[in-house]
């Protein structure tokens, strides 16, 4: 088998520690207590090694080591102290950083496009920047909906209201992410009744992927409320329909009565691109579903290390950890993986490095299983002893569409 890609020195420190643990001895099922303690200390505000996340491009300990003393003393440290008083969790200074970033970039750009002078160059550049921001914003929202907010209790009003201003600017419709992701996806767990389930599709089929994305694009406004109704959750059904359709009306009113061209760039393009990105990402997150136990979180989701999702999107690569505990704080995923390493191994979980969800989706649609297999980080003796071809065969077997008869039987049993 070809050697694995080199370790990226730009990795966040937790990713680097996790990868070193997993690759030092692929047959080991327990991680060293020293590494687990070090990861704990990075998240513990009472420990001298505490390292809050301030910016996504750099780890904070790197900034402290490289910045001139005056900048560190009079800018960085006062900002961290101030932002920690605003953030709900001491580690999450970065979320305050990003709210301020959107306040001084996105909002002024929108105001200028609508109220001063629209040009297509500005409009398209605005859309491109919003695409760049969208992944980070979406995973910040992910933290928001799972942890009941991201700001300290005294800022509860701002915490509750900012999504209504910002969500449509990044392509989200009001509260739809909450109802679809928290109240539906995490309840159904990629099972047959999950509207975003991959089990009904061949995950290496372009035609199936097009059907998967198309249904979400055009029918989610109908499918999600209907799914809640079938489950007897009438209040969820009404709220999901109300917020989705009211956001469509909001966009239409801007289109019809304020500025059609600005609305196209500010609201419509982000909406279309984000929905494509969400479904392409979920396709990769739940591409490898083992028919032996498709409802196992270990066998229906994956973990990615050494990927941009962990630096720029709040450890989104640790998707199995998230499904095991949806309310786990994003900074706790790396240490949780190492502490649960034996369970991951026994559960036949899949861990990859140097490949992100979108690339997983792309390589599947290209049927390039070898590219993906070379990026496996084996857990335990069984995976470590597999040849490249055996890895390819195993991955391919986990991407097959489940038979209708099996899914309907499973659906009946899950009622």
With b meaning 16 or more CB within 10 Å and e meaning fewer, what string describes 122-157?
bbeebbeebbebbbbbbbbbbbbbbbebbbbeebee
What token pair was written down for 243?
């917020």
pLDDT at 414: 47
Question: Does 413 score more than 80 pLDDT?
Answer: no
C-alpha atoms less than 13 angstroms from C-alpha of 158 in its C-beta half-sphere: 13
From CA 60, how far away is CA 80, in angstroms rounded? Answer: 10
pTM for the model = 0.93
CB 174 within 8 A of CB 246: yes
CB 211 within 8 A of CB 201: yes
Phi, psi of 400 (to 5 degrees): -75, 145
Instruction: List, as one string, the DSSP characters of 77-118.
Output: HHHHHHHHTTBSSTT-HHHHHHHHHHHHTHHHHHHHHHHT--
Share of the chain above pLDDT 70, in %: 95
Quick one: how far is CA 376 from the chain centroid?
20
Domain residue extents for the chain:
1-39+289-414
pLDDT at 206: 97
pLDDT at 310: 93
| pLDDT (tens digit per residue) in 284-302 | 999 999 998 999 999 999 9
Question: Does 30 score more than 70 pLDDT?
Answer: no
Length reported for the chain:
415
- In three-state secondary structure terms, 352 is strand
Question: Does 87 score more than 80 pLDDT?
Answer: yes
From CA 317, how far away is CA 311, in angstroms rounded? Answer: 9
pLDDT at 26: 58
| pLDDT (tens digit per residue) in 196-216 | 999 999 999 999 999 999 999
């Amino acid at each position: 088998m070809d050697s694995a890609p080199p370790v990226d020195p730009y990795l966040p420190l937790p990713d680097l520690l996790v990868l070193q643990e997993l690759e030092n001895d692929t047959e080991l099922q327990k991680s060293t207590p020293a590494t687990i303690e070090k990861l704990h200390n990075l998240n513990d505000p009472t420990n001298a090694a505490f390292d809050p996340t301030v910016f996504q491009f750099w780890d904070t300990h790197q900034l402290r080591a490289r910045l001139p003393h005056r900048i560190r003393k009079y800018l960085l440290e006062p900002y961290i102290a101030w932002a920690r008083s605003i953030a709900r969790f001491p580690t999450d200074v970065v979320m305050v950083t990003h709210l301020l970033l959107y306040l001084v970039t996105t909002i002024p750009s929108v105001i200028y496009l609508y109220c001063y002078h629209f040009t297509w160059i500005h409009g398209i550049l605005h859309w491109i920047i919003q695409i760049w921001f969208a992944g980070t914003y979406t995973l910040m929202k992910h933290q928001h909906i799972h942890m009941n907010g991201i700001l300290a209790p005294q800022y509860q009003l701002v915490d509750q209201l900012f999504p209504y201003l910002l969500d449509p600017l990044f392509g989200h419709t009001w509260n739809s992410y909450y109802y679809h992701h928290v109240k539906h996806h995490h309840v159904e767990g990629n099972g047959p009744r999950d509207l975003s389930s991959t089990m009904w599709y061949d995950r290496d089929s372009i035609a199936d992927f097009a059907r998967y994305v198309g249904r979400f694009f055009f029918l989610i406004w109908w499918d999600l409320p209907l799914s809640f109704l079938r489950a007897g959750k009438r209040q969820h059904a009404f709220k999901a329909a109300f917020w989705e359709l009211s956001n469509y009306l909001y966009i239409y009113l801007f289109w019809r009565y304020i500025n059609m061209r600005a609305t196209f760039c500010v609201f419509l393009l982000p909406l279309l691109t984000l929905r494509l990105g969400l479904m392409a990402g979920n396709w990769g997150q739940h591409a490898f579903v083992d028919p032996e136990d498709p409802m196992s979180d270990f066998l229906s989701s994956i973990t990615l290390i050494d990927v941009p999702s962990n630096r720029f999107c709040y450890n989104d690569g640790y998707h199995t950890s998230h499904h095991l505990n949806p309310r786990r704080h994003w900074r706790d995923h790396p240490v949780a993986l190492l502490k649960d390493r034996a369970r991951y191994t026994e559960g036949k979980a899949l861990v990859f490095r140097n490949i992100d969800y979108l690339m997983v989706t792309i390589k599947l649609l290209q049927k390039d299983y070898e590219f993906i297999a070379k990026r496996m980080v084996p857990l335990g003796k069984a995976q470590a002893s597999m040849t490249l071809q055996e890895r390819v065969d195993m991955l391919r077997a986990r991407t097959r569409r489940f038979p209708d008869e099996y899914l309907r039987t499973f659906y009946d049993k899950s009622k």
